[in-house]
Amino acid sequence: MKLIVSFAQTKISLSMKKILYKGQEVEAFDLLMQKENAIDILHGNKKVETRSFSPFYFSRFIDKKKQKTSKNINDYIIRQDVEFIHFHNYTNSWFLNVRINESGLFVLDKESVEIMNNDFGFHDFNNEWQQYDDIPSSQKPMFYWFSISEIVNHNFA
């Protein structure tokens, strides 16, 4: 998928969390999540998590070292050095650690939604893309996506 939108570099620092995976300490993206979504992941009903393409997440997910060497600003490079996500709520009363095997960006259009449907069984935007059908691609919403491959651990009963 060709990406058309660009963001200026932001000065928000990365929020990472150290978690244990097979006895080794690894870095994970530290992300808030609603408990219902975490439970859906835990039960295998949700295999993809998304976040809006915003300056806040841009500073976390884009590989700035590789991006500087990219010749095309529209070819955003998602960080591939982080394979885990630590999901939790605001009060940290629960957590869910997962391993991700793929990540990327998609534009909210028919083609991207169909790819997410077919490749990942992800249907959250099936009824959303139509409202943006008549506007240029550069103005359509974009999202980061993460394909969840494994539940690492959690503290749900």
Domains of the chain: residue spans and CATH: 16-154 (2.30.130)
Question: Would the pLDDT of 5 be above 50?
Answer: no
pLDDT score recorded for residue 67:
67
Average of per-residue pLDDT across 6-14: 37
User: Looking at 22-26, 54-58, 121-125, 144-148, which range is the least confident one?
Assistant: 54-58
Average of per-residue pLDDT across 52-63: 81
126 conformational bin, left if phi > 0, alpha if psi -120 to 50, beta if neither = alpha
Q: How far apart (Å, rounded) are the C-alpha atoms in residues 105 and 6?
A: 13
Q: How far apart (Å, rounded) are the C-alpha atoms in residues 23 and 92?
A: 22
